[in-house]
Structure 1
Amino acid sequence: MTILTTLGPLLIALLFGYWVNIKVFTPTRVAKGLEQLVYLILGLIGFSLGALDNLAEKLFIAGYQAIIFFVLISVLSLGGLYLSGLRFGGTHADNLAQGPSDSKSHALMDAAKTIAWVIGGVVVGIFAKDWLTGVDELVTGLLYVLLFLIGCQLRQGNHRLRKLFLNSQGVIIALVTIFTTLLAGWIGSFVLGLSWNQGLAVVSGFGWYSLSGILITGLGDPVLGTTAFLLDLGREILALMLIPFLARLNSHMSVGYSGATAMDFTLPMLGKFHGAQIIPVCIASGFIMSILVPVLIPLFMGI
């Protein structure tokens, strides 16, 4: 029953946004609303973290956990993706020139703004925790709005499920990435002394740092949410840095390690090094992982 009460409303909000076309929610308004809502929720997450007792100790724990999961994911995912690329015909980069610097700087600036909102929330939480209440309930309510807007954005991007799931390379890359990432989470849970479902939940963001930390914190674990946030933020930044090198080996490694961000943040870099033919693969792989994030995290957290 816990799984149903946790996952059900979140999934309904996502599917409602995907299937129901409400004209007032134009692509521009959805994009702007998503950006503002994400920053607001991240600030509230920072507040929840700052309101915790023994904050320094818990930040240290979150950082340590993120490093362990990060290393395990990098080793297992890159190894699995290298083998799948050899077996299923991953392509090599044709253009080894420097990728678009604007995509790197944009992602780094976005990451800096995200961290600033979280830090700001932490500072407010430290000094205002005694008189500002109901933050956790507010985060949970905003989660439903966030997932509704994400559903709208996925529909407005003309991402048709049937077409995406018929892209064999994209599906293979997504499946290998998902399996190796969850395997890393399962192993990491034993290394860190977490329950197996916590280990699986924290790695199920697949690089989508602006959602994974929000979901886990909103579901009642701000420390684990911080771990997921740091893990996925580090993964996106490293993916941008490694794409030029991974692309020389095979496309499975460069696309798969980018995770859910292959369909947005890292897409310009992937297109630069692999050519236009890689775009459908990136969108299919990134979409499959993106659609699973708001399903898997509540599922594992509810067990």
Structure 2
Amino acid sequence: MDLYLIILFLFSGIGLGFFLDQENYFVKFADLITKGGLVILLLSMGTNLGSNEQIVLHLGEIGLQAFVFAISSIIFSVLAIVIFVKSFALNNLLLKAGPETEVEIEEENGDNTMTILIFTSVIVGILIGYFFLVGSENAWIDTVTNYSLGVLLFGVGIDIGASREILKDIKVLGWKLFVIPILIGIGSLVGAILIGIFFGFTTGESAAVGAGFGWYSLSGVLISKLHSAELGSLAFLTNVFRELLTVMVLPLVAKYFGSLASIAPGGATTMDVTLPMVKECGGEAVVIPAFVSGVILSTAVPILVPFFLSL
């Protein structure tokens, strides 16, 4: 989905939600729509992955390497944010929250329903795509994905606008809002370089793969043109796995490492595809930081990938 459409859906919802409050029936209905749309989005994402012939063809050849690259990038990204949160006492963005809010957050994190829902939806989608649609024309899947994402972003925006604590949380972050994507980027690169050394890749090659930050289509194409089809396929699969793993691990990351850490796994995808999941797992307070982080990392991909390949 184009950036201008993402901004349109998200900020239209924020504008509408600003005139409502959390107890308004429309806000509650929007929350239900968001959860329903999330299931549709995850099913369509899984179906798209399972039916993608390029992924199926290269899975056995470089799948393990790509999977490990993705895991390492996520782990070091989360670690970087956890250290940042601990250093500045920003855990869960609850500096100004009372005990009741903390209890509510703990109860939400203790509920495994969202984890099960996310995991099941993606797996079912992948199975449908692999067994029934692999190799066929599936343009309709992208249409479903875009429409469901638009609805989700609008619903997320309403939740943000109706929450009166969001501006306080943004003020708490201040300049730190722009440090988050830098740390996520550094964590992704460190994780990719360490694993790349283990697999015998050069530092530049490994960093280029990690610099995709989850944007598999662009990073795969860039690396294929600037380096080789083999490394491009590895980058493509690595960032596909990063998006897929993000969807699956977000509930656990938010539960055990805090709300801000839920921004880290998605990398560039937190500006669009994984933003609704970040909201569901980390809460409304992390949506704007996640969106800003995703935009900055997405902007960095076409700059950093060629740079690292030139080293």
TM bucket (normalised to shorter chain) is 0.5 to 0.7
Identity of aligned residues (%): 14
Conserved 8 A contact 1:46-1:119: no
**Secondary structure in 1 matching 2:56:** coil
Task: Please tell me the residue identity of whatever aligns with 1:291.
Answer: F
Tell me what 1:178 maps to: 181
Once the 2 structures are TM-superposed, how far is the Cα of residue 69 of structure 1 from its aligned partner? 1.1
User: Does the alignment pair 1:42 with 2:38?
Assistant: no
Change (3 A) 1:110 1:63: farther
| Kept in 2: contact 1:47–1:126 (CA 8 A) | yes
Task: Pick closer, same or farther for the CA change 1:198–1:141 going to 2, 3 Å.
Answer: farther
Match of 2:78 in 1: 74
Match of 2:125 among 121, 127, 132: 121
Alpha-carbon offset, residue 77 of structure 1: 2.1
Match of 1:246 in 2: none
Q: Does 2:59 match 1:55?
A: yes
- Conserved? CA contact 1:173–1:255, under 8 Å: no
Matches of 1:255 and 1:28, distance apart in 2: 19
How much has 1:182 moved relative to structure 2?
1.9
Checking the alignment, whether the CA contact within 8 Å between 1:68 and 1:188 is kept in structure 2 is: yes
* 1:59–1:118 distance in 2 versus 1, CA, 3 Å: farther
Q: Is the 8 A contact 1:197 1:301 kept in 2?
A: no
- The answer for unaligned runs of 5 or more in structure 1 is 203-214, 243-253, 268-282
Aligned pairs, number: 253
Could you tell me how far 1:129 is from its partner in structure 2? 4.0
Task: Give the Cα–Cα distance (whole angstroms) in 2 for the partners of residues 13 and 179 of structure 1.
Answer: 26
> CA 1:28 to 1:264, structure 2 compared with 1: closer, same or farther past 3 Å?
closer
Q: Could you say which residue in structure 2 is the equivalent of 1:146? A: 149
Q: What CA deviation, in whole Å up to 9, does each residue of 1:137-173 have, x standing for no partner?
A: 6325632541343134313442579962774323355
Q: 1:95-132: per-residue Cα shift (whole Å, max 9, x none)?
A: 8x9998753453x3322332233323333333334563
TM-score, length-scaled by structure 2:
0.59
1:219-238 matches, cutoff 5 A: 221=236, 223-231=238-246, 233-238=248-253
CA contact (8 A) 1:186 1:200 kept: no
Cα separation, 2, equivalents of 1:257 and 1:196:
24
CA drift of 1:227 comes to 1.7
